[in-house]
């Protein structure tokens, strides 16, 4: 990438630096390769370390770089396409879905979820799940299920006091009994809460794509899922055709 000094241009240094580094990544580096450390890069380009870091942050946001404390900065592989098919009508936990149940609690949901469920601030089952791709966790999920949606549950002896994986699975199992009337989804940018960040192997505040799904049944909202995907490594794909999915690939 040379030892080029930055010219005086009317654009911010960090932005110009981002462009220079981006081009260098395209032409001179392989995926997985380690970049020189920040202090050396800053010196090489004649800027303060903070300025260089601004450029690196941009590139990390774009999924071009991966930075790990104590290790270094590496060239990131292309983002993985993650299927979140809205037209495949199925409940969470249906056979073959990509999630792993981690636990279940009974909590009052956040206000926005409570509103979508149409039931004020009653307690609901809150199932924690994790989604992994190639062994790496890429998303966490909180699935909110009102007890009314899974009436069969309360009759199962012993489950009331089980706060763990088994109860989560039971909730999902009961959900399958309902007829799914449709779903409604939104995607927005968020920042990882401390707990999610830990599960996703990121720092708190890391950018995430928040996918909110409202599951409809019998004219009402049967459940709401809030899924938190790593924004640096994931590209959400809404496949519709049965085809190979060109966009999903690289």
Which residues sit at the interface with its own copies, rule CB under 8 A? 11-12, 15, 18, 58, 61-63, 79, 81, 86-87, 115-116, 118, 181-191, 194, 204-205, 207, 209, 212, 214, 216, 221, 231-232, 234-241, 243, 245-248
Residues 189-208 as x/- pattern, contact with DNA by CB under 7 A: --------------x-----
Asked whether position 47 contacts DNA by CB under 7 A, the answer is: yes
The Cα 134–Cα 108 span in angstroms is: 34
Residue from 5, 32, 46, 179 touching DNA (CB under 7 A): that is 46
Query: What is the C-alpha to C-alpha distance for residues 184 and 148, in angstroms, rounded to an integer?
Result: 20
* Binding site partner of 157, from its own copies, DNA, none, Cβ cut-off 5-8 A by kind: none
Task: Pick one of DNA, its own copies, none as the site partner of residue 71 (Cβ within 5 to 8 A by kind).
Answer: DNA
DSSP 13-36: HHHHHHHHHHHHHHHH--TTPBPP
Q: Which of 69, 71, 61, 58 is nearest to 20 (CA)?
A: 58
CA 50 vs CA 41, 54, 85, 155: distances in Å: 11, 6, 40, 59
Cα distance between residue 17 and residue 11, in whole Å:
10
Q: Which residues here bind DNA, judged by CB under 7 A?
A: 10, 12-15, 35, 37-40, 46-51, 53-54, 56, 67-73, 203
């Amino acid at each position: 990438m040379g030892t080029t000094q930055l010219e005086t241009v009317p654009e911010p240094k960090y932005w110009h630096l981002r462009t220079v580094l981006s081009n260098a990544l395209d032409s001179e580096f392989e995926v997985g390769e380690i970049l020189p450390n920040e202090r050396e890069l800053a010196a090489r380009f004649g800027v303060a370390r903070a300025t260089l870091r601004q450029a690196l942050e941009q590139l990390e946001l774009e999924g071009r770089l991966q930075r790990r404390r104590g290790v270094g900065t590496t060239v990131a592989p292309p983002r993985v396409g993650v299927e979140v098919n809205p037209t495949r009508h199925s409940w969470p936990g249906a056979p073959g879905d990509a999630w792993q149940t981690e636990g279940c609690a009974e909590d009052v949901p956040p206000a926005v979820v409570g509103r979508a469920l149409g039931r004020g601030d009653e307690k609901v089952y809150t199932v924690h799940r994790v989604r992994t791709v190639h062994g790496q966790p890429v998303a966490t999920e909180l699935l909110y299920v009102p007890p009314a949606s899974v009436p069969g549950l309360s009759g199962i002896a012993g489950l009331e006091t089980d706060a763990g994986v088994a109860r989560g699975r039971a909730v999902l199992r009961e959900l399958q009994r309902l007829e799914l009337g449709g779903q409604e989804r939104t995607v927005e940018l968020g920042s990882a809460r401390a707990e999610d960040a830990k599960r996703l192997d990121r720092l708190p505040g890391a950018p995430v794509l928040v996918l909110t799904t409202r599951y409809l049944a019998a004219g009402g909202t049967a459940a709401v899922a809030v899924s938190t995907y790593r924004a640096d490594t994931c590209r959400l794909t809404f496949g519709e055709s049965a085809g190979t999915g060109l966009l999903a690939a690289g």
